[in-house]
Amino acid sequence: MAKPHVTMEVGNDGVAVVTLVNPPVNALAIPSKYLLLPLSVLTINLRFFFVIDCVEFDGDAVIAGLKEKFDEATRRNDVKALVLTGKGGRFSGGFDINVFQKVHATGDISLMPDVSVDLVVNTIEDCKKPVVAAVEGLALGGGLELAMGCHARIAAPKTQLGLPELTLGVIPGFGGTQRLPRLLGLSKAIEIMLFSKPIMSEEGKKLGLIDAIVPSQELLKVSRQWALDISERRKPWLRSLHRTDKIGSLSEAREVLKAARQQAKKIAPNVPQHQACLDVMEEGIIHGGYNGVLKEAKVFKELVMTETSKGLVHVFFAQRMTSKIPKVTDVGLKPRHIKKVAVIGGGLMGSGIATAFIVSNIHVVLKEINSEYLQKGTKTIEANVRSLVTRGKLTRDKADKALSMLKGALDYSDFKDVDMVIEIVRTEKTSAQAILDLMTVGKTIKKVPVVVGNCTGFAVNRAFFPYTQSALILVHLGVDVFRIDKLISSFGLPMGPFQLQDLSGYGVALAVGKEFANAFPDRTFQSPLIDLLVKDGRNGKTNGKGYYIYEKGSKPRPDPSVLPVIEESRRRANIMPNGKPINITDKEIVEMILFPVVNEACRVLDEGVVVRASDLDTASVLGMSFPSYRGGIVFWADLVGPKHVYDSLKKWSQRFGDFYKPSKFLEERATGGIPLSAPASSSSGSRSRM
């Protein structure tokens, strides 16, 4: 018999304790064992289906269980009041995100249960008996929304409370857009939702979201008593949706919403959920909470079906998938405890890594080749730590402790008692234990480790090398640099390729260019531009003069005086057909820059440099700031369509040369109608560097 996912115990005091039981986060549904299919199977392009055996979906079992227990408690004469809680020290991580993925894979929105009115309004909030939420650990998304439907909320210290739904491309769908502003005011509610920024129970108590904070061991006792006190009218019986005291007047609310809309335009220009969230809140303010709940449910379902939600949900799971490495994490190994590490090299990367370790309580031996470099590295680390203090992310005491954990070294004698020396790329000789230890330590310092094989540029820099190359080709074909940058920013990257070059410095561009030209001479464009820029006294942001002008306190401005330098470079490269600038649409510019990246990503997949396609998605989002709402480079290419990518590259290769020539992997996938993200066995000849 299947284990129940919601339990109920009625005590002698007449309080029924209803408990969510769905480890690890008490998600509101159940991930049936049959749903635990390889992720790649579930995330593939809808135009291509693998046959999936035994897919059984038990999507709303937790929700159905809750309703059943509440109905029973309401009926029973021996129950005076209810307490809703979660097992295992975590109230609930919200609605089961696997269900979103299932809806995306099938296109069947009816899998999404109608919970908001039926469960939260009718069953919990309008229950004839008082209900108190006893929250601990975390109450996120639908979890917090259930708690807000209760008549009071008692929390353990340091409980995380938030509505992060916008990070999944949707809005809260169990009444959160209506109850949160009613409990803690419109401005704060907007901040929590728009920025998906959780608060701690201590702040929640100050703001009115939480009624009392009690030690974990007293949580149930106090909650039971609170529920009885409400039933005996010693404490108020409050329904959040009916409250209006924190909303303010209509004109005040409209002002707040207007400002929030402007802010949303800036922080999330390309996605629909931020504006939709504000619209739904406004509906509730004008027409009442219940109407707000109805509109919220409708908009929620519309948003679930968008490409934004598909991309973001993919990224959620892809990121977690990186910690599942075949023959490493599935062979019963245990990570070793790492107390002290050695970092070789105190440059930008080494000092950053060392900082992350010492602030996570891990001793570091920083090795450099001479005392000048060592001093520089140590100073950078000190500055990093002090900046964390200035930004309020670390207390002064913790900063001092962190710095005391750093030791400089010029030879290897201090390495004798370290647990780990940072080497970060997997070769044939790397043991499973070493990879597991590195992944664990990576998580300790709050990074997302992605295991990659060895090749020039590894996974991400290798895949994104053609990004700058193709942008340079376009410039030499006569396209304006600033137009390119603007289009790439509008696509969703934080900045275009030329502003990025200014930021990282031309030295980096020259050094990286040489490496790639050696490794892949058949697909490298030898641009004279960087040399000319340097000769013209430009070094990007470092000296305030590049493609843009950099002045303290103002945004980078395009520098018209760079145009003659570009003209000279065009003259030298001489690649414009008939010596004339090409005519090209905005869409083509974006595609001509990103499709070569997809092409290189295909080679990375074909060579087995990453474990799975979704790892490259995660790395492109976290390492290259590829927009997460587009799901990562491979996911995006699958949405655009491998055939379109292939046909375009083929056309450009005929016109502009071999740089654009489609790879064998892309050709096979595109002509066979197979998504790029499908596992290696779906096409012949894939290799592995792992």
Ligand X SMILES: C[C@H](O)CC(=O)SCCNC(=O)CCNC(=O)[C@H](O)C(C)(C)COP(=O)(O)OP(=O)(O)OC[C@H]1O[C@@H](n2cnc3c(N)ncnc32)[C@H](O)[C@@H]1OP(=O)(O)O
- The residue number whose beta carbon is nearest to ligand X equals 141
DSSP string, 176-244: HHHHHHHHH-HHHHHHHHHTT--EEHHHHHHHTS-SEE--GGGHHHHHHHHHHHHHTTSS----GGG--
> x/- site string to ligand X, residues 155 to 184, per CB under 6 A?
---------xx--x---xxx-x--------
Binder of ligand X out of 242, 265, 287, 320 (CB under 6 A):
320
Please give the residues from 11 up to 30 whose contact with ligand X meets the rule CB under 6 A: 24-25, 27
**Under the criterion CB under 6 A, does residue 140 sit at the interface with ligand X?**
yes
Complex with ligand X: residue 300 or 660, whichever CB lies closer: 300
**Under the criterion CB under 6 A, does residue 96 sit at the interface with ligand X?**
yes
Identify whether 9 is a catalytic site residue. no
Binder of ligand X out of 93, 496, 540, 627 (CB under 6 A):
93
Binder of ligand X out of 145, 485, 600, 606 (CB under 6 A):
145
Backbone angles phi, psi at 688, to 5 degrees: -135, 140
Dist CA 369 CA 609 (whole Å)? 31
User: What is each CA distance from 545 to 373, 540, 556, in whole angstroms?
Assistant: 27, 5, 10
Complex with ligand X: residue 98 or 677, whichever CB lies closer: 98
Kindly state the number of chain residues that form the binding site for ligand X, as judged by CB under 6 A.
22
Dist CA 333 CA 313 (whole Å)? 29
Dist CA 271 CA 683 (whole Å)? 34
At which residue do the structure tokens 């375009």 appear? 648
**Under the criterion CB under 6 A, does residue 60 sit at the interface with ligand X?**
no
Dist CA 5 CA 20 (whole Å)? 6
Complex with ligand X: residue 89 or 347, whichever CB lies closer: 89
Binder of ligand X out of 138, 477, 589, 678 (CB under 6 A):
138
Residues in the chain: 690
Dist CA 615 CA 473 (whole Å)? 29
Binder of ligand X out of 86, 142, 149, 540 (CB under 6 A):
142
User: What is each CA distance from 79 to 6, 83, 148, 478, in whole angstroms?
Assistant: 17, 11, 22, 78
Least distance (Å) from ligand X to the CB of residue 41? 15
Complex with ligand X: residue 114 or 255, whichever CB lies closer: 114
Which of 366, 372, 371 minimizes the C-alpha distance to 346? 366
Least distance (Å) from ligand X to the CB of residue 624? 22
Which residue stretch of 139-147, 328-336, 402-410, 451-459 sits at the interface with ligand X (rule: CB under 6 A)?
Answer: 139-147
Please give the residues from 180 up to 219 whose contact with ligand X meets the rule CB under 6 A: none
**Under the criterion CB under 6 A, does residue 57 sit at the interface with ligand X?**
no
Complex with ligand X: residue 130 or 176, whichever CB lies closer: 176
CA 689-451-394 angle, to 5 degrees, is 160
Binder of ligand X out of 81, 97, 146, 150 (CB under 6 A):
97
Binder of ligand X out of 40, 43, 85, 98 (CB under 6 A):
98
**Under the criterion CB under 6 A, does residue 292 sit at the interface with ligand X?**
no
Residue 605 and residue 634 in contact, taking contact as beta carbons nearer than 8 Å: yes
Least distance (Å) from ligand X to the CB of residue 223? 22
Q: Give the strands of the sheet with 420-421, arranged side by side.
A: 406-409, 363-367, 340-344, 420-421
Dist CA 457 CA 217 (whole Å)? 52
Least distance (Å) from ligand X to the CB of residue 491? 25
Dist CA 279 CA 287 (whole Å)? 12
Please give the residues from 398 up to 417 whose contact with ligand X meets the rule CB under 6 A: none
Binder of ligand X out of 59, 86, 130, 141 (CB under 6 A):
141
**Under the criterion CB under 6 A, does residue 94 sit at the interface with ligand X?**
yes
| Cis before 272 (ω within 30) | no
Please give the residues from 259 up to 288 whose contact with ligand X meets the rule CB under 6 A: none
Least distance (Å) from ligand X to the CB of residue 343? 25
Please identify which of the residues 9, 56, 68, 165 carries the catalytic annotation. 165
**Under the criterion CB under 6 A, does residue 59 sit at the interface with ligand X?**
no
User: What is each CA distance from 242 to 92, 183, 482, in whole angstroms?
Assistant: 24, 10, 52
Identify whether 600 is a catalytic site residue. no
User: What is each CA distance from 411 to 51, 66, 407, 416, 421, in whole angstroms?
Assistant: 58, 63, 12, 11, 14
Please identify which of the residues 145, 296, 368, 600 carries the catalytic annotation. 145
Task: Supply the residues annotated as catalytic.
Answer: 145, 165
Q: Interface with ligand X by CB under 6 A: which residues?
A: 24-25, 27, 93-98, 138, 140-142, 145, 164-165, 168, 172-174, 176, 320
